Chain A
Amino acid sequence: MIFEKNISELRRTDSELAETLSNWSGRSEVEVVNTKKNTLSLRVNNITLHSLYDPQKEAEDWVKYYEGEIAKAESLYVFGFGLGYHLLALCRVTDSPVCVFEPRIEVLRKAFENIDLTTILSRTRITTDCRVPAVNNCFALLHHKPSVTLNHKYFDEIQVKLKSWEAIRRGLRILVVGPIYGGSLPVARYCSSSLIKMGHSVELIDNSRFENELFYAKDISDNRERYTRMMQYLSSFISEAVTARCETFKPDLVLVLAQAPLTADCLEHLRQKKVNTAYWFVEDFRLMEYWKNIAGYYDFFFTIQKGQFFTELQRAGITNYHYLPMAACPDNHKPVRLSDEEMKYYGSDLSFVGAGYYNRRHFMRGLLDFDIKIWGSDWDLHSDLAHCVQRGGAWIDTDEIVKIFNASGININLHSSTYHKGINPCGDFINPRTFEIIACGGFQLADRRLALEGLFEEGQDIIVFEDLQDLRSKVAYYLDNPEERKRIAGRGRQRVLREHTYENRMGEMLEVIAAKGLTQPLWPEEGEDVEGLIKESGSDSELGQYLSRFSDKRRITLSEITEEISGSEGEISKPEGIFMLMNEFVR
């Protein structure tokens, strides 16, 4: 009877677990035992889970023991379910959401069979595996000690993950390493600015400063061997600079963008220092095969393709991969007001922005009877497309691209291919342009890509074409229906802003990292433990109260405190004055 009542309550919030518990019929090592107070306790593998004398009093003492943490936290994570006495007592003193981790289904089953849990099940989330939900607020970890003793490996893993979330919530130190040039250069900048907006301390190693050196190496000689050697020197130099910067900046995470020239020695050094490393391979793995040489060096390898690429990665013995599609940066890719001159200069019924790859050169010929402007490099200026190619095929920067996306009636997006005459039927990644056009509020006709599924709703957020014939008829239709274009562009933009920004992607990336658990780098620690300082000075003292403003940080240095004081307004308090004076002495 109790079991049915509990299960029916659980079914409202977690039907999957309710099903699992209902169907559970495994061999049980769990023994239900009577207590002296005529209540129940559990024994598992010779470990008693609740007092055999007064489990309710024990539960109340447990809540009392954690009352400080409970009061401060916005959400509570409890390690161990047992028969739930401690959870019933906990829910009597707090309204905060409660998440309980319990790996033993048989323990849950006994609790559901024997104790009326209906009052707490609607507000308690039960997790039985190692997945830790994203944590974005201040939380407390409450250990049901005997459950932790029984399942210490499981709880160690959960604890590492939750601590990772805590570190992420408090803000990580992240070093972003960009390439020397190429498409991933702006991506490195977008990642960096997004991570800063998310509250992390970020440094971008912008290697574009070496662009001249790179082209110099390319131009100075036709000797391939010498060029390779010069590039090795350049990579070593950049890697040494990254290692040196790491020693000062002491990052928790080094995020490396595609084409960034880091050497194996540098990555090995970071591994020895237990620095978490992630690589975002924003490339087509079929064209750029260097992933085989680098993926294994990183803790996390993010890709814009899955399917066959995942198969190839597995075949190469690499398991640390995760899908992370491209995105838009709404600070850069946004609707802009254009002057009449700009509208005239950048505007046209149709536009295409991108390099003149083989398939594009063929395909665009089929649109020459429309008012079309082509922007970008590597187009054949001796072909019949030449009159459409703007500024003699010059490279276009982001600011101008945004204006083109805004000014065009229809933005054509055809993913590149070096060997198809039109659409690449095997294309399995989405280029950044797909997101950027939509983020600018532009209307887009994109070639069909399987990967669009799940990212956009076709026909509502984005319109796709199958071939030239289909594109031509859709161009004609949408040129005649500007309101429909506006509606689709507006809806697509909302979707991008909601789901496909670099902030979203960096959040997804950190979620993957937290799910595995961040390691603590072996940098020498700087500053003082904030909690320790508050405790030492007394939490009610003037100094303790002043220091409590830094309690979202783990450690703090004198210079960080004085920096905070310098940036604040109003009269300087006594503790602030003392810190300023101390800083003067140190200087």
Chain B
Amino acid sequence: MNDLKKEIERPEIFNAIRNSIPDARYSARKLAEAFTENIKPLRMEESEHMFVNLSQNIQELDYFLDFITQLREGMRYFDGFNLPADPISSEGAGLSLFQEMHAALESKDWIMLSDLIEYELSPLLLKQEQWLGSLYEKILEYDA
């Protein structure tokens, strides 16, 4: 741990990561719920309201993924935590899911899109939230 402490040259990064994780966890949970809730009607009908909500969710997902990219950048300071790779980045899981979602959206295959969101994306976001939780615990442990 002492070695690790040495590696942290910028305490402001450490603080920023620590302080942002609770918000990120909350966002991941809420995003998973919102996607599941908003996608439900798509199996039954196409409504403008539903598409507006969905596009808002996708935008929020974008912000969240930006945060994860930033976090991954900051993670090089935390190699010593021995945390597994985050679920979204792991083996390109997120990338391949987003490509499938994009294809479903392009071909207006709403059942496929609903399935991907309900059975893949939302659980993936919840896994990401758990991973963030583990990371946070490690950080607190370290901080102590």
Q: Which positions in A face B, CB cutoff 8 Å?
A: 36, 46-54, 58, 61-62, 65-66, 143, 145-146, 149
Contact B43 A47 (CB under 8 A): no
CA distance in complex: A121, B70 (Å): 58
User: In the bound complex, do residue A62 and residue B44 qualify as a contact, i.e. CB atoms below 8 Å apart?
Assistant: yes
A48 touches B45 (CB 8 A): no
A36, A58, A66: most-surrounded residue (chain B CB, <10 A): A58
CA distance A262 to B108 in the complex (A): 50
Let me know if B40 is at the binding interface, CB within 8 A: yes
The stretch from B14-22, B109-117, B125-133 touching chain A is B109-117
**Given A53-B118, A53-B119, A61-B40; A143-B45 close (CB under 8 Å):** yes
| Contact between A50 and B44, CB atoms less than 8 A apart | no
Counting from the closest, the 8 A-B pairs by CB-CB distance are A48-B111, A53-B119, A48-B112, A46-B107, A65-B44, A53-B115, A47-B109, A52-B115
B44 to chain A: which residues have CB within 8 Å?
A: 62, 65-66, 143, 145
Residues of A within 8 A of B107 (CB): 46-47
Contacts from B to A (Cβ < 8 Å)? 40-46, 107-112, 114-115, 118-119
A52 to B116, CA, bound (A): 9
Chain A residues within 8 Å of B108, by CB: 47, 149
Residue of A nearest to B45 (CB): A145
Neighbour of B110 across the interface among A36, A65, A143, A149, CB < 8 A: A149
Q: How far is the CB of B50 from chain A (nearest CB, A)?
A: 12
Give the nearest-CB partner of B46 in chain A: A145
A sample of 9 inter-chain contacts (CB < 8 A) reads A47-B107, A47-B108, A50-B111, A53-B115, A61-B40, A66-B44, A145-B42, A146-B110, A149-B108
A143 proximity list for chain B (CB < 8 A):
44-45
Instruction: State the CA gap A145–B113 with chains docked (Å).
Output: 13
What is the minimal beta-carbon distance from B54 to any residue of chain A, in angstroms?
A: 15
What B residues does A51 contact at CB under 8 A?
43, 111, 114-115
CB distance from A223 to the nearest CB of B (A): 67
Contact (A48, B115) CB under 8 Å given A145-B110, A149-B108, A149-B110:
yes
B108 to chain A, nearest CB (A): 6
- What is the CB-to-nearest-CB distance from B46 to chain A, in angstroms, rounded to a whole number? 8
Which residues of the partner chain B approach A47 to less than 8 Å between Cβ atoms? Answer: 107-109, 111
B118 CB contacts on chain A under 8 angstroms: 53
Interface centre among B41, B42, B44, B110 (most CB of A within 10 A): B44
Contact in complex: B109, A48 (CB < 8 Å)? yes
Closest residue on chain A to residue B114 by CB atoms: A51
In whole angstroms, what is the CA distance A53 to B107 when docked?
19
Cα separation A149 to B46 with both chains bound (whole Å): 10
Q: Which residues from B are CB-within-8-Å of A46?
A: 107, 109
Q: Which residue of B lies closest to A41 (CB)?
A: B111
Residues of chain A within 8 A (CB-CB) of B46 are 145
Tell me whether A58 and B43 are in contact in the complex, defined as CB-CB below 8 angstroms, given that A48-B115, A53-B118, A53-B119 are known contacts. Answer: yes
User: Could you say which residues of chain A place their CB within 8 Å of the CB of B115?
Assistant: 48, 51-53
Contacts of A53 in B (CB 8 A): 115, 118-119
Q: Which residues of B contact A149 (CB under 8 A)?
A: 108, 110
Please name all residues of chain A whose beta carbon is closer than 8 Å to the beta carbon of B42 when the two chains form the complex: 145
Contact of B111 with A146 in the complex, beta carbons under 8 Å: yes
A149 CA / B115 CA spacing, docked (Å): 17
User: Whole-angstrom distance from the CB of B51 to the nearest CB of chain A?
Assistant: 14
